[in-house]
Amino acid sequence: MGKTFTAIPADLADFIRAQPLFFVASAPLSAEGHVNLSPKGMASFRVLSPTQVAYLDLNGSGNETSAHLQENGRITFMFCGFGERPLILRLYGRGRTILPNDPAWDALAAQFPLAGSARQIICADISRVSTSCGFGVPQLELRSERDTLVRWAEQQGPETMAVYQQEYNTHSIDGLPTAMATRETPAY
């Protein structure tokens, strides 16, 4: 039933583009550290090539993915077929955080409708693509995207958001520094 690939086939890239939601998972190296799993809205995800993807990461109350990527680069994305086609798709790879001051920012940012709540872009090189049946995933219907986070960040303004990011987005819950703390993008 399930299949494994070393790159994203065209039909699975189309499947990804059709999904309104994806999940991103990362973890620290420490066995005592917390594994992170976050849901994200689909409007923020892009397949850049069969082996590279990116998503526009909006402000949040934490920044676990960035901290884990700074430490070890490991990242997994999961997409579920909530519509007619039952399917679970996972992308495994090595990721990095791209900040607005990074030379790669402009080219990547051009792929997204930028919002005032954008804090970074997570880019990943994919080495394994796997599918499974998804027969246990319920069928759901999308009512609408939420704009609460974007509206909130725009109301705060850039100065307030910079203070917020400094307070809540520079370290993981385990104390690991994020790209915002180090202002460095590791080369994975």
Residue 103 lies in a domain: yes
Residue 186 lies in a domain: no
Residue 10 lies in a domain: yes
Residue 188 lies in a domain: no
Q: Which helix (H) or strand (E) holds 131?
A: strand 118-132
Residue 185 lies in a domain: no
CATH code for the domain of 118:
2.30.110.10
Q: What is the pLDDT of residue 184?
A: 56
For the chain, what is the radius of gyration of the CA atoms? 16
Bridge partners (DSSP) listed for residue 177: 171
Residue 113 lies in a domain: yes
User: What is the domain count for the chain?
Assistant: 1
| pLDDT classification of 158: cutoffs 50, 70, 90 | confident
Residue 140 lies in a domain: no
Using a pLDDT cut of 70, give the percent of the chain over it.
Answer: 95
Beta strands in 6-117 (DSSP E): 21-26, 36-41, 45-49, 52-58, 74-80, 88-98
Structural domain containing residue 111: 4-134+145-180
Give yes or no for residue 45 having a pLDDT over 50. yes
Model confidence over 53-89: pLDDT tens digits?
999 998 888 999 999 999 999 999 999 999 989 999 9
Give yes or no for residue 160 having a pLDDT over 80. yes
Residue 56 lies in a domain: yes
Model confidence over 96-146: pLDDT tens digits?
999 999 999 999 999 998 766 789 999 999 999 999 999 999 999 999 888
